[in-house]
Amino acid sequence: MTAVRNVYIGQEIERTEDFRFLTGRGTFVDDYEPTGLLHAAILRSSVAHGRIRKIDASAAIKMAGVHAVITAADIGEKIPTIPIRLAPIKGLERYLQPVIATEKVRYVGEPIAVVLAETRAIAEDATAEIELEIETLAPVPDWRVAETDSTLLVEQNGTNVATRYAVGSGDADAAFAIADYTRREFFHAHRHTAVPMETRGLVAEWDAANERLVVTGATKVTFFNRRALAAMMQMPESAIDFIEIDVGGGFGVRGEFYPEDFLIPFAARMTRRPVKWIEDRTEHLQAANHSREIDCELEIACRHDGTILALRGRIHGDMGAYTRTNSGVVPAKAAQFLHGPYRIPAVKFDVAAYMTSKTPIGTYRAPGRFEANFFRERLIDMAARDLNIDPVEFRRKNLIATNEMPYSIGKLVPYENESAYDSGDYHVALEKCLAAFGWQEKKNLQGRNIDGRYHGLAVTCFVESGGAGPRENVRMLLERDGRVTVAIGSSVLGQGLETVFAQIAADALELPFEAFRVLHGSTTLLDEGFGTYHSRAVVMGGSAILDGAKNLLSAIRAAASLQFNCRADEVSIDGGKAKGPDGRTLTFAALAAAAGPISANGTFANAQRTFSYGAHAAHVAVDARTGHVAVLDYVAVEDVGRAINPALVHGQTLGAVVQGLGGVFLDHLIYDANAQLLNASLADYLLPTATDFPHIRGVTLELHRSPSNPLGAKGAGEGGMVAVAATAANAVAAALSSFGVQPNDLPLSPPRIWQLLRDAASGRQRAP
């Protein structure tokens, strides 16, 4: 290969993985059909809360093509429970989800039985033949009912309140006592979910001769999931392989450990046949993690000039029926990120998590942050207008300055150490956003009625964490043809990591981009990996590649020294060639052909988070007759420290904004008073399409690199999402300011906007 001096980091290289996707050559879990395959269908509870009195599968098992029906009785006396992966807040461990219902069901969609058959259709038909009797119990439809403990979901715990705790810094109560101005508001962020293009699924294969299990279709955190499954099935981890293949989206929901991740491997071992399960869309909406449902009572204390003195509030998190792997993240991060990018001397937050008769909560892109920004930025706009201060000037006044970095926000999460914003210029990000948006040119539209639509503008600021530790690992192999295989513990969920990781490796080894093959996620690649979540893949995985490349170069020098009969430190490396002290050279390919493939491992460990930041601006037009909101312009600005591939970062930003706007105006999981999910289909659960929000712009900044990793990168996957609800809601409020409308509840659907206008016209106030 010819020597290459190109710098790949920072180039907008097209995604190499797109070729196989666009030509139909991708391999997804439903494409995998091993010989002898059985298909699984799951009988799920249609009751939100009840006691199981009878399960009779005799009719189902007699059906032609049915091979087995698995219930709790077939699994054993002790039913495994799903362990906590993140946010181990004391109290949550009392509500772990069993992998299958035993004596009670606690939400609609909870697994009760698994049918295995020759085809999926037969398996689904057989579930209808299972005779099931459930004694209905009073449901717990929301956190207010949960708090009364009038009906207990888990009787032995004696309460539906999983945890309560308080966090803060400074003396917030004292600040409120001396403040010139205070305001308290109640906000609601509604329940919705990610709905990736591809639903969950997996194929489990049991090798009876060697007592080994292979699970294909795993993603996100394969090594953790393997460890969890091994414990549940009482097998050594080394006897289980989790294989990651192409994935049609994740967004935090897909790839966590669910009941099916035990039930399908268990079924494969029991039947000694490969078993496939593919989730249908109704199952996804009923049973995959929901997120976001947080209520917040928030107060702000200020001086007359708008200087913020303190924030205090209460977070009420609806956790659903069980604690899953990371459900505690949502209320915890909602509290932590109420602080935002502002200089606030004192904060005090009380957090409570409640168990209800709904699908369990988990993380969804920007968990807790999306909600926290909505709560805080809505209150800031209200305070600014009360004090007759321009909302933009209010933010400028209170933003943390560059010379205050790193800026400590204290310990606002019980399971973490103190946090500090690492670097940044929050003021410049705000000004860049205002300039890109054209704020000065547009601000005269504020509140105007033009052709029956009321126009509103808003700008908000945010800070967002990423780069979660503890570490990530890589194995790099110089092949005989001179190509380099990069095997990484990070998982791919559609972000373009195969391209980005090749860019990082190409610069580190001074080889052409085309010389690299990136493998990812599977437990067969490495001894240990940590996966992809919390915008960590580039920060942790990319930094591990730098370490692996350094170690591979050392191994190449050592191998070349044997060929040149010299010391390793006498070998120089230049553009894919090793050069000895006597001037002889060997290409990497020739060296690998002579010495055999050369490998090296790399690791990057770090306990410090990265903190990206930025600002969003929106221009909306509201039809007061129908409640419809049109987004006429939207700009999202974020400093990501260092953009490895700006085009991919830009795509992440636009996708995140659209997803966020969907969460503001469309997505909504609707439950009735009996905790029945009313819209478990895409006919009723609304998602954004390409024509809904066409006017979106993203601006990527690289102003301040993170000091916590050698790439200087910060998380870039969630910054387009975190401030969307805050910005859109403030723009709607500005548009309808003449009506006195305060949109404090999400979603801002047309019926809700219409009702707010009617309530304002009649002088009614919404009760908290």
- Whether pLDDT at 657 is above 70: yes
How confident is the model over 579-609, as pLDDT tens digits? 999 999 999 999 999 999 999 999 999 999 9
52 backbone dihedrals φ, ψ, rounded to 5°? -80, 120
pTM of the model: 0.96
The mean pLDDT value for 346-373 works out to 98
3 state SS of 182: strand
At 622, the amino acid letter reads V
Q: Distance from CA of residue 88 to its chain's centroid? A: 17
The model's confidence at residue 363, banded by pLDDT at 50, 70 and 90, is very high
CA distance 596 to 593: 5
The model's confidence at residue 6, banded by pLDDT at 50, 70 and 90, is low
> Beta 629-639 vs 696-701: how paired, if at all?
parallel
CA distance 249 to 255: 10
182 backbone dihedrals φ, ψ, rounded to 5°? -140, 155
750 preceded by a cis bond (ω within 30 of 0): no
CA distance 217 to 205: 12
Q: Closest Cα to residue 570, out of 671, 155, 128, 578?
A: 578
CA distance 723 to 712: 23
> Beta 212-216 vs 240-243: how paired, if at all?
parallel
The model's confidence at residue 766, banded by pLDDT at 50, 70 and 90, is low
On whether the CB atoms of residues 93 and 328 are closer than 8 A, the answer is no
Sign of CA dihedral 329, 334, 335, 337: positive
- Whether pLDDT at 464 is above 90: yes
Q: Closest Cα to residue 70, out of 198, 200, 204, 199?
A: 204
The model's confidence at residue 763, banded by pLDDT at 50, 70 and 90, is confident
How confident is the model over 438-450, as pLDDT tens digits? 999 999 999 999 9
3 state SS of 569: helix
At 742, the amino acid letter reads Q
At 327, the amino acid letter reads S
Mean pLDDT of the chain: 96
On whether the CB atoms of residues 462 and 614 are closer than 8 A, the answer is yes
> Which domains are delineated in the chain?
18-27+469-605 (3.30.365.10), 32-137+194-287 (3.90.1170.50), 294-467+608-762 (3.30.365.10)
Q: Which two tokens stand for residue 222?
A: 């394969």
The residue behind tokens 């949960």 is 146
CA distances from 287 to 221, 276, 462, 662, 687 (A): 19, 17, 32, 20, 18
CA distance 149 to 141: 12
747 preceded by a cis bond (ω within 30 of 0): yes
How confident is the model over 24-38, as pLDDT tens digits? 999 999 999 999 999
Full DSSP string of 283-345: HHHHHS-BB--EEEEEEEEE-TT--EEEEEEEEEEE--SSB-SSTTHHHHHHHHTTSTTB--S
Q: Closest Cα to residue 586, out of 482, 656, 670, 516?
A: 482
β-bridge mates for residue 187, sequence order: 296
CB atoms within 10 A of CB 110: 26
Burial 525-538 (b: 16+ CB within 10 A, else e): bbeebbbbbbbbbb
H helix runs in 41-97, sequence order = 58-61, 72-75
- Whether pLDDT at 109 is above 80: yes
CB atoms within 10 A of CB 660: 29
Q: State which H helix or E strand residue 396 sits in.
A: helix 391-398
What pLDDT does 2 receive?
A: 47
Q: Which two tokens stand for residue 5?
A: 């001096």
Q: Which two tokens stand for residue 13?
A: 């290289």
Q: State which H helix or E strand residue 121 sits in.
A: helix 120-127
Maximum CA extent, the chain: 92
β-bridge mates for residue 40, sequence order: 116
CA distance 152 to 139: 9
How confident is the model over 207-243, as pLDDT tens digits? 999 999 999 999 999 999 999 999 999 999 999 999 9
What pLDDT does 690 receive?
A: 84
CA distance 460 to 374: 9
Q: Which two tokens stand for residue 176?
A: 């409120």
CB atoms within 10 A of CB 617: 28
What pLDDT does 489 receive?
A: 98
How confident is the model over 248-284, as pLDDT tens digits? 999 999 999 999 999 999 999 999 999 999 999 999 9
- Whether pLDDT at 5 is above 90: no
What is the number of residues in the chain?
768
How many percent of the chain have pLDDT more than 70?
Answer: 99
User: What CA dihedral angle connects 132, 137, 143 and 145, to 10 degrees?
Assistant: 160
CA distances from 128 to 57, 60, 101 (A): 10, 8, 17
On whether the CB atoms of residues 99 and 72 are closer than 8 A, the answer is no
CB atoms within 10 A of CB 275: 28
How confident is the model over 291-300, as pLDDT tens digits? 999 999 999 9
CA distance 126 to 545: 49
Q: Which two tokens stand for residue 629?
A: 């909101």
How confident is the model over 605-655, as pLDDT tens digits? 999 999 999 999 999 999 999 999 999 999 999 999 999 999 999 999 999
3 state SS of 544: helix
CB atoms within 10 A of CB 299: 18
Q: State which H helix or E strand residue 691 sits in.
A: none
CA distance 703 to 423: 9
CA distance 325 to 718: 20
The residue behind tokens 């949109």 is 743
- Whether pLDDT at 545 is above 80: yes
710 preceded by a cis bond (ω within 30 of 0): no
CA distance 322 to 355: 7
**What angle is formed at CA 528 by the lines to CA 526 and CA 534, rounded to 5 degrees?**
115
Q: Which two tokens stand for residue 682?
A: 């895409």
Sign of CA dihedral 33, 34, 35, 37: negative
Spatial strand order of the sheet with 38-44 comes to 66-70, 111-117, 38-44, 275-278, 201-207, 212-216, 240-243
**What angle is formed at CA 482 by the lines to CA 481 and CA 484, rounded to 5 degrees?**
110
What pLDDT does 767 receive?
A: 46
CA distance 358 to 360: 6
What pLDDT does 764 receive?
A: 66
